[in-house]
Amino acid sequence: MIGVGIMGYGTVGSGVAEVLSMNAASITQKAGCQIEVKKILDLRDFPGDPNEGKLTKDFQDILKDESIQIVVETMGGLHPAYEFVKQALEADKNVVTSNKLLVAEKGDELLQIAKEHQRNFFFEASVGGGIPILWPLYECLAANEVTEIAGILNGTTNFMLNKMIEEKMTFDDALALAQKLGYAERDPSADIDGHDACRKICILAALAFGNHIYPQDVYCEGLRNVTLEDVATAAAMDSVIKLIGHAKKCDDGRVAIGVYPMVLKQQCLLTHVSDVFNAVQVKGNAVGDVMFYGPGAGKLPTASAVVGDVIDAAKHVSMNKSPVWAPAKEGSIVPQENVESAFVLRFSCDCDVTPAVHAIFGDVQYVYREGAPANELAFVTPVLSEKVLQEKIKQLAGATLISSLRFGTL
């Protein structure tokens, strides 16, 4: 029998207890031993809960319980999750977490501690919820040099974009609906400003490219500026807008990484990822493109990933098999202004600026959306850097930029 301590009895934590109980027989078989929740840490009371007797408000009750060999961290937030996880690893316990903020901020350090103690720090649930993505990337694709990762990493914003695209709902209405359905928090910033997706692309990039990447070092543009006019412009190009977390290894070894709304051609499979689903596409130098798709959040899907890691930890209870990655490296990220892309630009024009557009931008492709004002001009630029783009936009007299979106195929 292997004892589990759960820290944080919210949505995910209670889902973990539920899945462990619901599939107990098959989990025992797969783990090779019984897995039992011994204690649950939460400051709240849960009167009448089936696990009421296991609840404690004192972390020491988990830390000092020698029967607990696996600690599940589903508290969220950086503190005290970080301190608790670190102490658990140092006390020779395995840790499984769903906490993307913790991994994105402290992953390198915690993985190193796990390695030194021959224990594991697992975090499959931190990216893509229930979708198996981190282990497949780390183990199944180990034969590859991974060159690029792109994903729809936030279900809330994907749901909102879907409503804007399919039902012409405004951003504000889509956000209100997402909040009503419980997808978005009262303060929706982590979702709509891209921070949630940013943490996840940082974790994916660290795992694939070998160095920790801090979210604060990554360009992150959310959904706030995307309008129904942008959606219609994309539609006129047989494309849709998706919020993409994107990381690419450059030839010089640096990583171009960012989160931004992107206009994607319909032939990209990612454009067909609808509702709150997530998907991650990985490019390897042997395999080419593979994609992983599924529910990116939710109680039982996220618990599925956590419990998958718990089973793995139970099978390797005193044998380190976690990945490790090196600390963040100065200068390893390409400054966003140097990252190249094609762009879809939309201008409000005082006069016919098309001769100037050609002179400045070269070979552009015009986009005509139905219902556009007569003085609107939209076009796709050749591939250029953000820095060059800004210079060219400044040169274009008689036209005011309305919106600018990256465009491409993934």
165 binds a copy of itself (CB under 8 A): no
Closer of 247 and 367 to a copy of itself (Cβ) = 247
Residue 186: count other Cβ atoms within 10 Å of its Cβ: 5
**Which residues contact residue 327 at a Cβ distance below 8 angstroms, ignoring those fewer than 6 apart?**
108, 109, 211, 212
Extended beta strands in 250-284, E state: 255-265, 277-284
**From candidates 286, 330, 370, 374, binder to a copy of itself by CB under 8 A:** 286
Q: Which stretch binds a copy of itself (CB under 8 A): 84-92, 250-258, 294-302, 392-400?
A: 294-302
**From candidates 293, 325, 361, 407, binder to a copy of itself by CB under 8 A:** 293
Distance CA 228, CA 403 (A): 12
300 binds a copy of itself (CB under 8 A): yes
Closer of 144 and 227 to a copy of itself (Cβ) = 144
Compute the least distance from the CB of residue 83 to a copy of itself, in Å: 27
**From candidates 21, 216, 285, 409, binder to a copy of itself by CB under 8 A:** 285
Give backbone dihedrals phi and psi of 48, rounded to 5 degrees, phi first.
Answer: 85, -5
CA-based Rg of the chain, rounded to a whole angstrom? Answer: 23
Instruction: Give the strand pairing for 68-73 and 2-7.
Output: parallel
26 binds a copy of itself (CB under 8 A): yes
Residue 83: count other Cβ atoms within 10 Å of its Cβ: 11
CB 254 within 8 A of CB 282: no
Distance CA 159, CA 184 (A): 10
Residue 148: count other Cβ atoms within 10 Å of its Cβ: 16
108 binds a copy of itself (CB under 8 A): no
Give the per-residue contact string, 236-275, with a copy of itself (x = CB under 8 A; - = no).
-------------------------------x-x--xxx-
Q: Which residue type occupies 190? A: A
Angle between helices 299-315 and 11-22 (to 10 degrees): 60
Compute the least distance from the CB of residue 331 to a copy of itself, in Å: 21
**From candidates 22, 235, 236, 402, binder to a copy of itself by CB under 8 A:** 22
Q: Which residues are part of the catalytic machinery?
A: 200
136 binds a copy of itself (CB under 8 A): yes
**From candidates 56, 132, 356, 372, binder to a copy of itself by CB under 8 A:** 132
Residue 172: count other Cβ atoms within 10 Å of its Cβ: 9
Q: Which stretch binds a copy of itself (CB under 8 A): 14-22, 150-158, 174-182, 342-350?
A: 14-22
Angle between helices 81-90 and 100-116 (to 10 degrees): 20
Distance CA 162, CA 169 (A): 9
Q: Which stretch binds a copy of itself (CB under 8 A): 42-50, 133-141, 180-188, 234-242?
A: 133-141
**From candidates 4, 12, 27, 150, binder to a copy of itself by CB under 8 A:** 27
Please give the residue ranges that form the binding site for a copy of itself (CB under 8 A).
19-20, 22-23, 26-27, 30-31, 124, 130-132, 135-136, 139-145, 267, 269, 272-274, 284-295, 298, 300-301, 303-308, 310-312
